[in-house]
């Protein structure tokens, strides 16, 4: 009699342990799937450009991905803009226009800012997607890095 009671107790413990274990594994997969960081890493040159971007307060007047100050325009895709790009950006940095100060950067520093802006351009559109109207009247969102970065609503 006592022995049987012991057996039941033991069996319950095994069942509860299995359930708790399964619950932990299940939660691990549910809460960690799709959270991998696919963002491309910045090169050393681009990181220096990002430092210059921050130290010289470009962000107080310009936006990247729509975030920042609004005295100047958004620069997310300026590198791939058909009429703008590298020399155009350097020209603005050299001259300063309107409220934008003239910056006395070295060529190396200008190239670092360009490298940073190139990395930004590769990771997004601003607005952050292109919407293509489908024949059925719905839109399909096309993200810039759809090939390398999987986005749930892009499937």
CA 44, CA 101: separation in Å to the nearest integer?
26
In the numeric block, the tokens 């790009």 are attached to 85
- Among 132, 141, 122, smallest CA distance to 65 is for 122
The phi and psi torsions of 17 (rounded to 5 degrees) equal: -60, -45
Contact 146, 125 (CB under 8 A): no
| Complex with ligand HEC: residue 78 or 129, whichever CB lies closer | 78
Q: Is 20 helix (H, G, I), strand (E, B) or coil?
A: helix
Where does this chain touch ligand HEC (CB under 6 A) — which range of 3-11, 20-28, 66-74, 143-151? 66-74
- Among 146, 127, 155, 144, smallest CA distance to 67 is for 127
Name the helix (H) or strand (E) containing 46. Answer: helix 44-55
| Complex with ligand HEC: residue 42 or 149, whichever CB lies closer | 42
Decide if residue 71 touches ligand HEC (CB under 6 A). yes
| Choice from 63, 100, 143, 149 touching ligand HEC (CB under 6 A) | 100
Decide if residue 67 touches ligand HEC (CB under 6 A). no
**Per-residue binder mask for ligand HEC (CB under 6 A), 2-41, x = binder:** ----------------------------------------
Size of the site for ligand HEC (CB under 6 A): 21
Residues that bind ligand HEC (CB under 6 A): 56-58, 60-62, 71-73, 75, 78, 84, 89, 92-93, 97-100, 103, 113
């Amino acid at each position: 009699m006592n022995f049987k009671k012991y057996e039941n107790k033991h069996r319950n413990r095994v069942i509860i342990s299995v359930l708790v274990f399964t619950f932990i594994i299940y939660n691990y997969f549910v809460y960690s799937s799709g959270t991998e960081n696919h963002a491309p890493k910045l090169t050393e040159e681009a990181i220096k450009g990002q430092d210059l971007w921050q130290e010289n307060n470009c962000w107080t007047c310009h936006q990247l991905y729509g975030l920042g100050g609004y005295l100047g325009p958004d620069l997310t895709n300026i590198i791939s803009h058909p009429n703008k790009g590298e020399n155009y950006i350097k020209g603005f940095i050299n001259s300063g226009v309107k409220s934008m100060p003239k910056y006395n950067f070295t060529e190396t520093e200008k190239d670092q800012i360009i490298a940073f802006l190139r990395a930004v351009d590769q990771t997004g559109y601003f607005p952050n997607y292109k919407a293509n109207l489908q024949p059925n009247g719905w839109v399909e969102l096309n993200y810039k890095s759809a090939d390398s970065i999987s986005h749930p609503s892009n499937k």
